[in-house]
Amino acid sequence: MRQKGISLNIQPADGDEELSDDHVGTSAETPMRADAFDLDDEEKIERIEKHFREIMTILGLDLTDDSLNGTPRRVAKMYVKEVFSGLNPKNRPHPRLFENKYNYDQMLVEKDITFYSHCEHHFVPIYGKAHVAYFSSGKVIGLSKINRIVQYFSKRPQVQERLTVQIGKEMQRVLQTEDIGVVIDANHMCVASRGVGDTNSKTGTAYFSGKFNDENIKREFLNYINSK
C-alpha cells in the first residue's frame, strides 16, 4: 500500500477482507474492547504514566533528571487528552444540519484538511491531507464540521485505509446522502523513520460512493484537489 503515487479506491464493505499483503483485514470500526471506558480519563492517565515510567527505566534513562522526570505524565496526558482522544465516543462531533436554501446542486469540496494520526502497528505519526466532497441531498453542514470529523477519526491508532472509510461512512451518516468522495494523501513515519527509511513515498487512499462512482464526477473531484 505504500507505493509512491498510488491511489486506492476503497469502498465500504459488509464483511472483513484483506486490505494488503501486510495489513490484516478488519472491519471499518476501530478494534475496541467492551470495557474500554470503564476507567475515567484521570485513571487512564495515572496508569499510563506508571507504565511509561517503567518503559523509560528499562531503556536506561535517568528519570531523576529534570528534563525527563515529567515525561511519563506528559506522555500519558497527551495520549488520553490529545492524540488518542478520538477513541472516546464522547468526543464525536455532532454537526448541525441546515437546509440547502440556495438549492446548490453541485459538488462541494473541502480540500487540504491537515490531519495527524498514529500508526497502530508502531505508534508513530501518520500525517497528511484529507480531501472531502459531497453532493447535498437537501441538507448541508458547516465547513468546519467536516474538518472536525476528519480530526475525530484521525485522533486514534489507525491504518490509513480504515481512516478513509470511517470518514466516508460518517459523512454519509451525517449528511444523509450516498454521494461522498474522500481522498487522503499521507506520510507514514513507520516507513520514513524506521524499517526501509524511505522519506519520499506517500500513501494515497480513496473512498467513493453514490455519484462519485461516475467517472466524470470522480475526475472532476480529483482534478480539483490536484489543482494549485
Active site residues: 119-122, 160, 188, 190
CB 119 within 8 Å of CB 189:
yes
Mind spelling out the 3-state secondary structure of the chain?
A: CCCCCCCCECCCCCCCCCCCCCCCCCCCCCCCCCCCCCCCHHHHHHHHHHHHHHHHHHCCCCCCCHHHHCHHHHHHHHHHHHHCHHHCHHHCCCCCCEECCCCCCCCEEEEEEEEEEEECCCCCEEEEEEEEEECCCCEECCHHHHHHHHHHHHCCEECHHHHHHHHHHHHHHHHCCCCEEEEEEEEEHHHHCCCCCCCCCCEEEEEEEHHHHCHHHHHHHHHHHHCC
List all residues 6 or more positions away from 82 whose beta carbon is below 8 Å from its beta carbon.
155
Closest CA to 173 of 137, 147, 143, 218: 137
Place of cell 465500504: 12
CB 202 within 8 Å of CB 4:
yes
